[in-house]
Amino acid sequence: MSDHTAAALAKLELLAPILTALPKTPDTEKVCDDMDALRRAVSAFHLEAIRFRMFNVERALLKGGDIYPAAAKDRFEELRQALEAAGFHTRSHAAP
């Protein structure tokens, strides 16, 4: 495991407790499941799974409105930056 991958996993560990502390709903349980799958994908260096799970988590955070605190969105962006620094492409297209 590279230092960059370790940094990305550390960012995941900062985001996960924020999401798991939310009230249990189908949406919050789905995003927690996606976070667990993202953790496994990063650990396994599975690029396509990383992009897929990042898309799912980002979509949930954006469409969830006030359900997800600003801290979750901030930690998610830090995670994206750490993954991109590690060489993982987190989007299936170029960012605008």
Per-residue model confidence as pLDDT tens digits over 39-87: 999 998 888 999 999 999 999 999 988 899 999 999 999 999 999 888 8
90 within domain boundaries: no
Q: Does any domain span residue 8?
A: yes
The answer to whether position 73 is within a domain reads: yes
* Structural domain that includes position 78: 3-85
pLDDT reported for residue 62 = 92
Element (H, E) at 7: helix 3-20
What is the tally of structural domains in the chain?
A: 1
Phi and psi, residue 92, nearest 5°: -85, -5
In a domain, 92, yes or no: no
Tell me how far apart the alpha carbons of residues 83 and 24 are, in angstroms, rounded to a whole number. 28
Inter-axis angle of helices 3-20 and 26-44, to 10 degrees? 170
CB 83 within 8 A of CB 50: yes
Distance between CA atoms of 43 and 70, rounded to whole angstroms? Answer: 26
The answer to whether residue 26 sits within a structural domain is: yes
pTM of structure: 0.86
**Is 66 a domain residue?**
yes
